[in-house]
Structure 1
Amino acid sequence: MNLPARMKNLFKDIPAYEKWIKRISSLSDSDAPDRVGGKKLSARARKEKENLKKIEVNQDYFGPFADTPVALELMKRDRFNRAEFERYPGTLAEVLEYMKKDTKWDAMPRIYLAQHPIDELPKQLQDDLPPPEIIKNFGKGDIYGSSLWMGKAPTHTPLHRDPNPNLFVQLSGKKTFRLMRPDVGRKLYEDVRSKLYNKAGDGATMRGEEMMQGEEFDKLKQAVWQDKLATNNTRLGYEVKLKPGCGLYIPLGWWHAVQAEGVGPNVSVNWWFR
């Protein structure tokens, strides 16, 4: 069977990884040396030092592109605490300003630049996101679509499946995926739909507005992330965590749900291919 594959630290050479994100140490060089007593720091100590870095979007770099038109998503809750979703025309400046704000982790409303086509970005930003060569190893090298994702945790993409294989790369922040085989994911999706509407549905593909709000959004999220079936039954699928510079290959037909985690800017990019 064609299985998902996580690739660790293979994508730090994507230009956007360095150009778009500032990783600033909160300690001076004297406070955080690479050697102690002539010996190199242990792997654990180096990791702890890395975690002390402050992460932020390079606002100066994006300055010339602030007026770029983009489709933004607004997520909020109604007075009954049901998820409400709106997609509206905005600018890159709006999401960049939102990412700067020091807001409570789960504060509403939330702004998210989701699934924005890379080929609709300014040329310089497109050049910062070249398709990785490794895609040629997974298919014919026929890339037919690509997207940029920018926001702050928590963001959530409900359970769905893509029409073709997908390479997803994390540039900043962390994302967690739950992946399910085609038959398992479809059954879970249809079970939730049948309980809500007494019908199975047509098999969610991509990120549609109908799946981003209301009771369906909350029930799918609960089924995938909170129910014992999802967390304790290993037959249900796989959980994969992506850190900056890491990537995930999602085979054709595999169902997946995605959550952003942590603090600071959360930036990802993906390519669909055949």
Structure 2
Amino acid sequence: MKSWFTSTNQEEKELAAFSDKPLSFASVQVPYEFMTEGGCLDSPSESSSLSCLQSFRTWLSRQPDEEDTRFLCELVDQLLESVKDEKSRFIQFDAPLSLIITASRYNRSTDSPSCRIRQLYIAQCDIRDLPAPLREDFPTPKLISEVGKGDLYGSSIWLGLQHTYTPLHRDPNPNLFYQLVGSKVVRIMEPEKGLTVFRDVHERLGTRGNSRFRGPEMMDGPERDGLHRAVWDDPDPSASIWQGILGPGDALFIPKGWWHSFKSVGQAAELNASANWWFR
């Protein structure tokens, strides 16, 4: 937390920022998601993704003419074309860590909060794929080596510009989730209750969903909207949903097969970061 980020000045409501260490690894390729306008189910009135990207692109063009800046300009141009196509609200791509670092810097510099970049998310980035100096900032929690088989199955970082969101799903392994920057709210259901909710949504849609795959079907369209309504907007009382809010330094254990959905809470475009470890 201290190595990657600066602290947030709550009194002046400044946005959290990246520290110098991630800047040293700005060229590292990571997996991104970008949810365009209409994808934020909680704040549909914010400025369009197209206008925000255009403002970001203009700001980039005014920065010092360096190779990384030129590359980011080309990347944002490609995102603009994807948004204009309107084929999907959900865009997945690989890009350097510098994209979110620069977008965060742009967000803190702009005088118009409505033009800030939102819903840009480094999602499920395998910690093992990071360069050693970054990977070492995410040591496997001692707890994992002392329970079950003591076997780490996988680990990820989740780093985004709010709003960020993960629909209802379940994991094939126990999960230890740790909040680093910002806050997230989670809703959890036991295995049988969650399965009933998930199946009911798909029966109404006439589809079959994959509860363990973070793909376009889960992240965009009728399945995403149906799951959001069933978990967040109008949940069935019989689903017995538990809710918790995680702030920096909070950790949550999610047992194998328990259903859960996460979303960030707080100021739009603010940095939000988490890490998790799946184990056996």
Aligned to 2:16, what secondary structure does the other structure show?
strand
CA distance in 2, matches of 1:124, 1:163: 29
CA distance in 2, matches of 1:77, 1:83: 10
TM-score of the aligned structures, taking structure 2 as reference length: 0.74
TM-score of the aligned structures, taking structure 1 as reference length: 0.76
Which residue of 1 is the match for residue 61 of structure 2?
none
CA distance in 2, matches of 1:64, 1:142: 31
- Decide which of 212, 223, 242 is 2:219's aligned counterpart: 212
Per-residue CA deviations over 1:178-232 (Å, capped at 9, x if unaligned) read: 00011010110110111011x4x25511422320011111111111001052xxx
Q: 1:64 offset after TM fit, Å? A: 1.4
Aligned to 1:99, what secondary structure does the other structure show?
helix
Which residue of 2 is the match for residue 23 of structure 1?
7
Structure 2 runs not aligned, ≥5 long: 39-83
Alpha carbons 1:99, 1:151 under 8 Å: kept: no
Letter in 2 for 1:268: S
Which residue of 2 is the match for residue 92 of structure 1?
97
1:128 partnered with 2:137: yes
* Percent identity over paired residues: 38
Letter in 1 for 2:174: P
CA distance in 1, matches of 2:140, 2:114: 32
Which residue of 2 is the match for residue 64 of structure 1?
24
Aligned to 2:7, what secondary structure does the other structure show?
strand
Alpha carbons 1:167, 1:271 under 8 Å: kept: yes
Root-mean-square deviation (CA, aligned residues, Å) is 2.5
Which residue of 1 is the match for residue 278 of structure 2?
272
CA distance in 1, matches of 2:228, 2:5: 30
Q: How many residue pairs align between the two structures?
A: 228
Alpha carbons 1:168, 1:248 under 8 Å: kept: yes
Which residue of 1 is the match for residue 70 of structure 2?
none
Which residue of 1 is the match for residue 164 of structure 2?
155
Which has the larger share of helix?
A: 2
Per-residue CA deviations over 1:79-129 (Å, capped at 9, x if unaligned) read: 9x9962111111101112223314747977631100000011111000011
Alpha carbons 2:117, 2:161 under 8 Å: kept: no
In structure 2, relative to structure 1, the CA distance for the partners of 1:124 and 1:158 (3 Å cut) is: same
Alpha carbons 1:73, 1:88 under 8 Å: kept: yes
1:183 partnered with 2:192: yes
Which has the larger share of strand?
A: 1
Aligned to 1:22, what secondary structure does the other structure show?
coil
Which residue of 1 is the match for residue 173 of structure 2?
164
Structure 1 runs not aligned, ≥5 long: 1-16, 26-49
